[in-house]
A and B are shown apart, each in its own frame.
Chain A
Amino acid sequence: MAPMIPTDDLEEYLRGDSALSRQYKREPAPAPPPALDRQVQRSSSETPVRSPYLAPLALAASVLLSMAPVLAIVFGPQPKQHTDDAPHLVRVAAHAGAAANAPLDRKLRLYSSDPPHTRAPSAWLADIAALRRAGRNSEADAEFRRFRAAYPGYSAGELPFWPQADF
């Protein structure tokens, strides 16, 4: 265990008038050689040396930083699509005649998850008619119910077919 030292020694010394301090000040006080003085004084006016690699590195870093958002979008992880968001395909096995009558871009595909008013009534009715012609009356009825719900004011006279059930 280290021996206890009276704090008075330290306090007396820190007051600055101790015999120890007086003796130390009487000791020779070497100074730096004049040549060293000149060297330091000369170097004090020199501008700090800058690395020649700093400027290109800074440029590269700024370019990389500015491109980071774009790179993050392109190469970053893509958000997963929920399977529930995918449209449900209602496959309609229409016969060749119906397929020929259907518009080219539709190809007799009905998406029950489509918002009702995004489908034109005429196209929707044509699809229902195709279902009827294919003999799939229950599906045609179900589709016609959805059609009615979407377009309740649509005139029955405009229907290209007569519904099987009472709507």
Chain B
Amino acid sequence: MESFDEDAGLMARYRDGDAAAFSTLYARHKGPLYRYLLRQVRSSGAAADLFQEVWSRLVATRKRYEPRAKFATYLFHIAHNCTMDFFRRGVRRAARSDHSDAQSPEPEVPEYQRPDGVAEFLEQQSALLAALAALPREQREAFLLHEETGLTIEEIARVTDVGLETAKSRLRYAIRKLKKSLHPVEAHARPLRTRTV
């Protein structure tokens, strides 16, 4: 059996009944996974639910695990799918609410999607995290996958089911926007300087 990384070997051991291997895997990946989910869905309650769902799926499908790639791509592919399901559910709920109750003053959308919820969430963030939260979801995901797990562009493309160029483009736009948040004054000053030349 080809082993792609140590974690893939641990997962294979867990598949074969070694419970201690799971504990090691969990300890290594719980932080990055939790932050990926939290910063994607921007709600601690939803992140906790998704976090549990991701691990549950991994546990339930462990017998079918074959180490074909880095373990992180396997885990975060599950996380990506769970997150996509979560966003789809949110969209469906909002659409259903629009159709079923046109009189309702407040559409039934997740807390993190409400304007006040987002504002409250952003108040607790630094400039960088606020800029991250403001990114389009796909760009935010590409950035988080690289920062939290060290995945390469090829691996990000595999996790998110897109082509290599798409993944590269998403990450490129993400870092360009985020860099502006690090130097907001400089970002605003540059166009003025170029105009005066």
Seen from chain A, the residues whose Cβ lies within 8 Å of a Cβ on chain B are 5, 7, 9-10, 13-14, 18-21, 23-25, 27, 29-33, 36-37, 39-41, 43-46, 48-49
| Residue among A9, A21, A29, A40 with the highest chain B CB neighbour number at 10 A | A40
Residues of B within 8 A of A46 (CB): 59
Say yes or no: B182 contacts A5, CB within 8 Å.
no
Select one of A18, A32, A45 contacting B48, CB under 8 A: A32
Say yes or no: B176 contacts A29, CB within 8 Å.
no
Select one of A14, A20, A32 contacting B51, CB under 8 A: A32
Asked if B112 is at the interface (CB within 8 A of a chain A CB), the reply is no
**Residues 31-61 of chain B, each 1 if its beta carbon lies under 8 Å from chain A, else 0:** 1001100100000100010011001100110
Say yes or no: A44 contacts B22, CB within 8 Å.
yes
Q: Which residue of A lies closest to B21 (CB)?
A: A44
Say yes or no: B56 contacts A23, CB within 8 Å.
no
Say yes or no: B55 contacts A44, CB within 8 Å.
yes
Say yes or no: A9 contacts B22, CB within 8 Å.
no
Question: In the complex, A9 Cα to B176 Cα: how many Å?
Answer: 7
When A31-B31, A36-B52 are in contact, do A44 and B147 touch as well, CB less than 8 Å?
no
Say yes or no: A5 contacts B55, CB within 8 Å.
no
Asked if B119 is at the interface (CB within 8 A of a chain A CB), the reply is no
Q: Which of B65-73, B89-97, B100-108, B167-175 contacts A (4 or more CB under 8 A)?
A: B167-175
Q: Which of B137-160 contact A (CB under 8 A)?
A: 146-147, 152-153
Residues of A within 8 A of B126 (CB): 27
Question: In the complex, A41 Cα to B23 Cα: how many Å?
Answer: 7
Question: In the complex, A41 Cα to B34 Cα: how many Å?
Answer: 15
Residues of B within 8 A of A44 (CB): 14, 19, 22-23, 26, 55, 59
Chain B proximity of A93: nearest CB distance (Å): 79
| Residue among B48, B172, B178 with the highest chain A CB neighbour number at 10 A | B172
Say yes or no: A9 contacts B59, CB within 8 Å.
no
Question: In the complex, A13 Cα to B178 Cα: how many Å?
Answer: 11
When A9-B179, A30-B38 are in contact, do A40 and B60 touch as well, CB less than 8 Å?
no
Say yes or no: B171 contacts A10, CB within 8 Å.
yes
Q: Which residue of B lies closest to A12 (CB)?
A: B175
**Residues 174-195 of chain B, each 1 if its beta carbon lies under 8 Å from chain A, else 0:** 0110110010000000000000
Residues of A within 8 A of B168 (CB): 10
Chain B proximity of A70: nearest CB distance (Å): 34
Select one of B19, B44, B152 contacting A45, CB under 8 A: B19
Chain A proximity of B179: nearest CB distance (Å): 6
Residues of A within 8 A of B19 (CB): 44-45
Asked if B128 is at the interface (CB within 8 A of a chain A CB), the reply is yes
Question: In the complex, A31 Cα to B30 Cα: how many Å?
Answer: 7
10 contacts between A and B (CB under 8 A): A5-B173, A10-B168, A14-B152, A18-B175, A32-B51, A40-B56, A41-B23, A43-B59, A44-B59, A45-B19
Say yes or no: B128 contacts A23, CB within 8 Å.
yes
Residues of B within 8 A of A48 (CB): 59-60, 62-63
Question: In the complex, A14 Cα to B44 Cα: how many Å?
Answer: 29
